[in-house]
Structure 1
Amino acid sequence: MPELPEVETVRKGLNQTTLNQPIVGADVLLDSAIAHPCPVEFIAQINNTTINHWYRRGKYLLAQLQAPSQPSNPIFTSKDPIETQTSDGGWLGVHLRMTGQLLWCTSDQSLPKHTRVRLFLPEERELRFVDQRTFGKIWLVPPHLAVMDVISGLRELGPEPLSDEFSPEYLATKLRRSQRPIKTALLDQSILAGLGNIYADEALFLARIQPTTPSCRLSPDQLNRLYTHIVAVLQQAIADGGTTIRNFLNVQGVNGNYGSHAWVYQRGGKPCRVCQTPITKIKLSGRGTHFCPMCQPQLNCDLP
């Protein structure tokens, strides 16, 4: 599933390719890809709107739409959370889920087998939603409604890991009474929005914390390290364009590069990059989890 760095990579690409161009038509090839409204209304309502800007909240992509004949007027400020905003042109919301892709194409490019929705733009360009597993969803939020009134999952999200709301103190408050393994807690989107399996494994390795450690047993020093490495890993992954394991592509169809130098993720049985001990892979709360049994939780490994 695309995580925060992958979704942020897509967001940046969409802002480089799709802004200030009218959507001159749409085609829904799989009705279930449209979560709201019905496909016929989706096509009618999105026609002739213009994308002012793409935003990200957790793993959601959100485009502020401009109504026909209305001036461009992005309305977010740093103090206005996405969930409370309305827009004269409504909002386009996308969740890629496991295998979703948004691809910026010319209209003469062959249609991928699993194309679910097409948005047509000027100069024979289009934005295609491709999704092999069909779990991804698209919403069209009507004008003058807040995004969270239609996309209910936004109500459940915790703070962004790269925001001022996230801190070691925040982690301490959220985890101090939790018996859940720390890896499981980090995947809870109500605690931290956007963090997923790949980067939880990576941050825990760099913080020298065993993924199965009960959350409430983390020391202040461990919480500080964990905070630092969550932020650093996400920033590095964004700089690398995310991670491609199977399906992730940016809007130009290019793979992400982070996976080529991942510390532990998808490296089960391979030697640790620090101590050469084989990386262990286990199932934890139903998710594949990777760690080094020597470096985690030992405190004396020479890690960056």
Structure 2
Amino acid sequence: MPELPEVETVRRGLNQLTLNQNITGGDVLLNRTIAYPFSVDEFIHEIKGSAIMTWHRRGKYLLSELSSSAGYLGVHLRMTGQLLWLHRDEPLHKHTRVRIFFGDQQELRFVDQRTFGQMWWVPPKVAVESVMTGLAKLAADPFSPEFTVEYLAAKLQNRRRPIKTALLDQSVVAGLGNIYADEALFKCGVLPETLCTDLQLKQIQQLRQVIIEVLETSIAAGGTTFSNFLNVKGINGNYGGVAWVYNRTGEPCRVCSNVIQRIKLGGRSSHFCPQCQR
């Protein structure tokens, strides 16, 4: 699943390529991709004639402001979603779900193999969270001023569950997922099964800092591609080649040369170094 760095990479690409160009139409190939409105014809009708002013990111959600007070266009990539900026003559991928047409024969194409991704049109003067209801449940973004040591400590206190599981909870940290939770825990030397209640304040301070550092490093590398993530130009992310532990089971630790191990926590794989993490 695309995590914060991948979604941020897509946001930056969209802001480079799609702004201030009128939407001339569109085509919905899989109706259930449109979460709101319930009519796909209404979805196309309401965004047609407007232009994208800017793209924002909230956690793993993308949100674009539309011109002429036309509301917002929202996207969540979920497991396998891709937003690709293409010439309309490009052959259709068999997993293409939505096409949004622009001038000069360009289009924004939503490709989604697993079909869990969603798009929304949010009407003007309507609270975005009332339509994209998942936004209301999000915690602070790691790059926001709200993401302080005190904030993270308060979120983790009294939680008798593994820190790795807690970090995947979007009501604790918005945008963090399996890849970067593993990477952050390695960087601060904490085992994934360590209970939140057993963490010392110094460890929480370090965890907050390395979460930000790991995310910044991945964004600079264009995100991670282990399966099907592509940026808006169809290019793979490069962070996977420098990952500390994620997806490196059986390989030597880059720090101590001990073998990287993998366990299951809450149904998710967790990668760690038994020497560097305690």
Fold agreement, TM-score > 0.5: yes
Shift of 1:236: 0.6
Which whole-Å CA distance do the structure 1 matches of 2:31 and 2:11 have between them?
Answer: 24
How many Å separate the matches in 2 of 1:257 and 1:41? Answer: 39
Match of 1:74 in 2: none
Distance in 2 (CA, whole Å) between partners of 1:120 and 1:196 is 32
The alpha carbon displacement at 1:176 in A equals 1.6
Q: More displaced, 221-230 or 7-16? A: 221-230
| CA distance, structure 1, for counterparts of residue 76 and residue 129 of structure 2 | 14
State the partner residue of 2:100: 119
Residues in 1 aligned to 2:58 and 2:124: alpha-carbon distance in whole angstroms: 19
Partner of 1:46: 47
- Post-superposition CA distance 1:47-101 (Å, at most 9, x none): 111100000000000000012xxxxxxxxxxxxxxxxxxxx21100000000000
Identity, % of aligned positions: 61
Distance apart, 1:206 and its partner CA:
0.5
Runs in 1 of length 4+ with deviation above 3 angstroms?
A: none
Q: 1:103: Cα distance to partner?
A: 0.1
Query: How much is the aligned-residue C-alpha RMSD, in angstroms?
Result: 0.7
Q: Distance in 1 between matches of 2:104 and 2:20?
A: 13
CA distance in 2, matches of 1:126, 1:172: 44
Contact kept? 1:24, 1:120, Cα under 8 Å:
yes
Confirm whether residue 195 of structure 1 aligns to residue 176 of structure 2.
Answer: yes
Q: Secondary structure at the match of 1:177?
A: coil
Match of 1:75 in 2: none
Give the Å deviation of 1:163. 1.1
Distance 1:162 1:252 in 2: 25
Equivalences for 1:108-257 in 2 at 5 Å? 108-257=89-238
Paired residues of 1:176 and 1:217 also in contact (CA < 8 A) = no
Measured after TM superposition, the shift of residue 230 of structure 1 is 0.3
The alignment of Structure 1 onto Structure 2 pairs a total of residues equal to 277
What is the rounded CA distance, in whole Å, between the counterparts of 1:100 and 1:179 in structure 2?
A: 33
Once the two structures are superposed, what CA deviation does each residue of 1:27-55 show, in whole Å capped at 9, x if it has no partner? Answer: 00000110001211111111111100000
TM-score where L is the length of structure 1: 0.90
- Measure the CA separation in 2 of the matches of 1:175 and 1:8: 25
TM-score scaled by structure 2? 0.98
Q: Which amino acid aligns with 1:43?
A: I
Alignment of 1:64-143 (within 5 A): 64-67=65-68, 88-143=69-124
Structure 1: runs of 5 or more not aligned: 68-87, 298-304
Rounded to whole Å, the distance in 2 between the matches of 1:28 and 1:62 is 19
